[in-house]
Amino acid sequence: MKKKIFSFLIGTGVSLVCGELVLRLLFEQGAKFNNIPLRDLKLQFFEKTSQFDPVLSWKPKASFKKIESNLLPNPIGRKHFRNALTTIEHGMRITPNTWNVPLNSKIRILALGDSFTFGGEVHNEETWPVHLQALTRFKVFNGAFNGFGLDQSLLSLEPLIQQTKPTAVILSLTNENIYRTVKTVRMKSFTGQPVPKPYFVFQGERLKLMNVPIEDVGHREVESRFKDLLGRSVLADFVMSQIAFNYWYGVQWAEDFPRKYFTREDPVKVSCAILSEFQTLSKQHHFIPIVLGQYYWRDTRSKAPQDVFTQKVLECARMLQIATVDLWKGLENLRQEDPDEYNTLFYPGHHMTNRGNLWVANQLAPVIEEKMKQ
């Protein structure tokens, strides 16, 4: 019996060593024993393009230019990278006049939101603010940033107003940036390190800003000694990135986000109050407020209900008499009537493609042009 156990252990050990050697040759890892998931995450643009801010927690660097990688799982779980040229100037992603159209510099549009507006996974010239600029021939500024909640967009607005002097401000809503308003931290990938962020709570009927000024917690490299050691194996990385991608890279979605990092507020109620503040600022600074409802990709076979958060917050905007552009109906019609075309608008499960961002700009342009005539 002992011989069988010993033989089994020896055989298993030899198989694992052989598998490790074969994959090291296949993936050109050689004799490098650095932590592979950590190396992959360092290729991503989020940490490189952002800097600490005592009010926002993170914001775009003053300047940055590089082709950056987005690490993503594909439908069967295996990791892959998607590259995009990201250029930041004066703390905002650039909006190049790619088609050299004459721009009316007297009308200036500021776009706010999260990665759907900033342009996750696409090049500088492929974001919807750039397409909107080409269609309307008005100067458009991209003041959005990755991972922002609606609260951070509001807090970033006044400095951006001073910088851009906008005629109109478009505030983009997504299910996620609404939900982030009740989170007190952002969880860093792989390490699981909580990074404090600003948030609002209600004091009576008014919003009270919490967690500001924010303390810079720095950066922790690894989550645990076990994960650090296992991450140095090509075989372990190959298996884990296919069968447990979210765990392996520490991806935190709403369903497994630690409950202790949530406030007790209703994200819709907080977001509606943020829109009221947005309207107040529009009167103080004399710009036209516009709210845009954006949506994540949905499987064309899905019968899941519509995005309730975004719909409810858009209704608040209408009650405040703020102009709204809701993309839900157009996207749903396309998803049902022409699923192949619908799928070209998104990277599956992720952000919008260049084609998708052009579609967004085409929905926005008539509303913007009409507002500028008033």
Q: Do the strands 104-112 and 138-142 form a parallel or antiparallel pair, or are they unpaired?
A: parallel
Q: Is 48 exposed, middle or buried (0-12, 13-18, 19+ CB in 10 A)?
A: middle
* Residue pLDDT, tens place only, 140-176: 999 999 999 999 999 999 999 999 999 999 999 999 9
pLDDT at 224 > cutoff 70: no
Name the band, by pLDDT with cuts 50, 70 and 90, for residue 80.
low
What is the mean predicted confidence (pLDDT) over 317-323?
98
How confident is the model at residue 49, as a pLDDT? 80
pLDDT at 73 > cutoff 70: no
d(CA 292, CA 327): 8
Which run of H or of E encompasses 186? strand 185-187
How confident is the model at residue 42, as a pLDDT? 56
- Given the structure tokens 């851009």, which residue do they identify? 164
Find residue 68's DSSP bridge partners.
Answer: 84
The string of DSSP codes covering 50-105 is: EEEETTTEEEE-SEEEEEEEEEEE-TTS-EEEEEEEEEEETTEE----TT-PPPEE
- Report yes or no: 126 and 100 within 8 Å, Cβ to Cβ: no
What is the mean predicted confidence (pLDDT) over 88-99?
94
Name the band, by pLDDT with cuts 50, 70 and 90, for residue 129.
very high
How confident is the model at residue 254, as a pLDDT? 45
Gyration radius from the chain CA atoms: 23
Find residue 179's DSSP bridge partners.
Answer: none
How confident is the model at residue 312, as a pLDDT? 97
Name the band, by pLDDT with cuts 50, 70 and 90, for residue 76.
very low
How confident is the model at residue 187, as a pLDDT? 79
* Residue pLDDT, tens place only, 21-59: 887 777 667 777 777 776 666 545 456 788 999 999 999
pLDDT at 252 > cutoff 60: no
Residues 6+ positions from 48 with CB-CB distance below 8 Å = 64, 66, 68
Name the band, by pLDDT with cuts 50, 70 and 90, for residue 248.
confident
Percent of the chain with pLDDT strictly greater than 90: 58
- Report yes or no: 237 and 231 within 8 Å, Cβ to Cβ: yes
**Architecture field, domain 92-218+251-373:** 3-Layer(aba) Sandwich (3.40)
* Both tokens assigned to 322: 């703020």
Output 69 or 230, whichever has higher pLDDT. 230
Three-state DSSP at 195 gives strand
d(CA 30, CA 33): 9
The H-assigned helical ranges of the chain are 2-26, 36-42, 45-49, 115-118, 128-136, 150-164, 175-179, 225-230, 234-243, 245-248, 267-285, 308-319, 328-337, 339-344, 354-373
d(CA 297, CA 291): 20
Helix axes 267-285, 150-164, angle to 10 degrees: 10
* Both tokens assigned to 289: 């407020």
The string of DSSP codes covering 137-182 is: -EEEEE---TT--HHHHHHHHHHHHHHH--SEEEEEE-HHHHHGGG
pLDDT at 363 > cutoff 50: yes
Domain boundaries, the chain: 1-30, 92-218+251-373
Q: Do the strands 104-112 and 199-203 form a parallel or antiparallel pair, or are they unpaired?
A: unpaired
pLDDT at 8 > cutoff 60: yes
What is the mean predicted confidence (pLDDT) over 98-109?
94
94, 239, 270, 352 from 209: Cα distances, Å = 30, 44, 11, 32
Q: How much is the mean pLDDT over the chain?
A: 87
- Report yes or no: 182 and 199 within 8 Å, Cβ to Cβ: yes
Name the band, by pLDDT with cuts 50, 70 and 90, for residue 4.
confident
What is the mean predicted confidence (pLDDT) over 128-151?
97
The string of DSSP codes covering 191-237 is: T--EEE--EEEEETTEEEEES-SPP-------S-HHHHHHTT-HHHH
d(CA 267, CA 175): 10
d(CA 149, CA 135): 28
Residue type, 125: E
Find residue 67's DSSP bridge partners.
Answer: 85
How confident is the model at residue 226, as a pLDDT? 74
Percent of the chain with pLDDT strictly greater than 70: 85
